Structure 1
Amino acid sequence: MSQPLLEIEDLRKVYTSHKGLLGQNKVEVTAVDGIRLELKAGETLGIVGESGCGKSTLGRLIARLTEPSGGKVTFDGKALFQLNQNEMKSVRRDMQMVFQDPYASLNPRQRVQSILEEPLLVHGMGSKSERKERVAEVMKVAGFDPDLGKRYPHQFSGGQRQRIGIARALMTNPKLIIADEPVSALDVSIQAQILNLLKELQSKFSLTYLFISHDLGVVRHISDRVAVMYLGRLAELSDCESLYKDPLHPYTEALLSSVPVAEPAGRKEPIVIKGDMPNPADPPKGCAFHTRCPKVMSMCKEVRPELYPVKDGRFAACHLYA
């Protein structure tokens, strides 16, 4: 077995704030709570869950855009949290991000050709002519005429701007791309184009993706494996086909039952998750999902489940499989 490209061990992030007139009341919110994952070179791991479950924070922690409260992330054999600023800069050449809002992530004062050239300047890659050639090459790969590089971001549509964001991520020939909700702000027809582009680029450049989304349909289209998050922890980890065919965790089962289908005739009645996600500043004792779970047992209210191996390399954090 080859070494995984990315290894995450017991990763945690706790945000602290103070309330009260004088700020005397300390409040801690655990956004990411003990995540363990591996990502092999060339595969796509989908991270899915409701808003506020910690999936975007997880992506930012891996890229060290946010500093962790604990745990370890190893990328391409390097322990990221032990690197200094200069060492981390060199690692970021191999690890790029595509952000959710394609307009907010692009500098409105720069022309597209300058936006794409900037990563090469930051990392000291190539001469002026080589950088110009690389910009033209990547623009063609992303589906643009290189002459359009003279335009500003506001002169493009939302889907085109996201293609520019993807092109920027490709400039340094990265090994890993962390895509944080890259299609959630786009129309459905444009979403399909962007997803197909990502799959095409992965095949062409042997890319590895960590794909973050709340849309189970989108995740199914692009992922090899799927990790389901709930309140900062993993609820289920499975290969994509098995998860959609036979979900293990009650939370995953409820999420899948709510996905619209083209032919609803004969479909089982959707599972309704009652109530809202618990307050992350005051999570329930035991399993975090027990307050909304249709299969809750007395044990669930007292003991927090670990991520148990169930079958065929699949895992579920549920006492049903203890």
Structure 2
Amino acid sequence: MSKVLLKVNNLKKYFPIRTGMFARVTGHVKAVDDVSFEVYEGETLGIVGESGCGKSTTGRTIMRLTEPTEGKIEFDGTDLTDLSNEDMRKIRREIQMVFQDPYASLNPRHTIEKILEEPLIVHGMGDGAERKKKVMEYLKIVGLSEYHAKRYPHQFSGGQRQRVGIARALMTNPKLIIADEPVSALDVSIQAQVLNLMKQLQEDLKLTYIFIAHDLGVVRHISDRVGVMYLGRMVELATSESLYDKPLHPYTQALLSAVPIPDPEFQGDQMLLTGDIPSPSNPPSGCTFHTRCPFATEECKQKAPNLREIKPGHSVACHLYNDQ
């Protein structure tokens, strides 16, 4: 087993709801509610769930782009929650992020060369000549050419822009990359190219990924382990193989049954969820999924289940497995 690179314990992020003339706090949106997991060196941990389940907030909170409300984030033995802004800035050299929209995350007024050079300047890495050399080197690594360095973001396709975003994340030689839906804005044919590039880079540069997505097919292609989130909580965590072969949580089963199978003869059962996702500002009592779960019992309405290991390497937060 590889060493633990990142350890997240009881992470919470609540956003205050302010109303009235004096903007008094009248409630909270529980975007991330008591999430715990570990990421091992060299692996890819996929985090999946519907829109609004808190997966992107989890990623941003780990980097402290959004400050956590509660909990502990430990990266390579350092507690990130206690660091000053200056110390956190230094640590970000080792934790980088690839954002969902490659156009919005690149400065339209800067050339690609300036965009890629910026992280090196911020972290005081190398002189002008060394930085320029590294920019050209990493453009080639992500499948672009040296002449692209003088162009601007609007002159690239979506797939090329995401390659620039990946190159920028790699410039400081990070240990961990948090990829927040890096292919969801791309055409399906381009998605596979970017995913294959990320897998190749992981192998070549010994990278560790947290891969956030809502598409279970994409996550299966790249992840070693997968965590499923629902309404701010982790409801299932397992190896990719175990999760896709035998999902335990009813929510995961429903998500997987909704993945389209490219076979006109396929007659598999589809598990349809009723109702809408409850509001994270007013989540249901007990298990937050009980309002949509076809197997919900009285216990589910009263008591929130803990995420616990049911079989080696497979944890689930569900009362259905209490007897096992």
CA distance in 2, matches of 1:266, 1:12: 41
Match of 1:281, SS state, is coil
Name the counterpart of 1:34: 34
Report the AA paired with residue 45 of structure 2: L
Name the counterpart of 1:270: 270
| CA-to-aligned-CA distance 1:169-218 (integer Å, 9 cap, x gap) | 01011000000000000000000000000000000000000000000000
Q: CA deviation at 1:262?
A: 1.2
Which consecutive residues of structure 1, in runs of 5 or more, have no partner in the other structure?
Answer: none
Identity of aligned residues (%): 61
Name the counterpart of 2:310: 310
Name the counterpart of 1:96: 96
Q: CA deviation at 1:21?
A: 5.2
| CA-to-aligned-CA distance 1:211-251 (integer Å, 9 cap, x gap) | 00000000000000000000000110000011111000000
Report the AA paired with residue 280 of structure 1: P
Name the counterpart of 1:283: 283
Structure 1 residue runs of 4 or more that deviate by more than 3 Å after TM superposition: 20-25
Report the AA paired with residue 284 of structure 1: P
Name the counterpart of 1:195: 195
CA distance in 1, matches of 2:264, 2:306: 35
Match of 1:5, SS state, is strand
Greater displacement, 143-152 / 1-10: 1-10
Name the counterpart of 1:151: 151
Q: CA deviation at 1:24?
A: 4.6
Name the counterpart of 1:183: 183
Please tell me whether residue 139 in structure 1 is matched to residue 139 in structure 2: yes
Determine if contact 2:16/2:25 at 8 Å carries over to the other structure: no
Q: Normalization by structure 2: what TM-score?
A: 0.97
Alpha carbons of 1:77 and 1:240: their partners in 2 closer, same or farther (altered >3 Å)? same
Determine if contact 1:19/1:27 at 8 Å carries over to the other structure: no
Q: CA deviation at 1:308?
A: 2.0
CA distance in 2, matches of 1:165, 1:183: 11
| CA-to-aligned-CA distance 1:37-91 (integer Å, 9 cap, x gap) | 0000100000000000000000000001000100000001110011112211111
Q: CA deviation at 1:19?
A: 2.1
Q: Normalization by structure 1: what TM-score?
A: 0.98
1:5-154 alignment to 2 at 5 Å?
5-20=5-20, 22-24=22-24, 26-154=26-154
Name the counterpart of 2:214: 214
Q: CA deviation at 1:2?
A: 5.0
Q: CA deviation at 1:309?
A: 1.1
CA distance in 2, matches of 1:24, 1:180: 32
Alpha carbons of 1:40 and 1:24: their partners in 2 closer, same or farther (altered >3 Å)? closer
CA distance in 2, matches of 1:20, 1:89: 36
CA distance in 2, matches of 1:237, 1:297: 22
CA distance in 2, matches of 1:14, 1:286: 18
CA distance in 1, matches of 2:232, 2:304: 13
Name the counterpart of 2:162: 162
Greater displacement, 306-315 / 12-21: 12-21
CA distance in 2, matches of 1:86, 1:67: 14
For the aligned residues, what is the CA RMSD? 1.1
1:197-276 alignment to 2 at 5 Å?
197-276=197-276
CA distance in 2, matches of 1:3, 1:308: 21
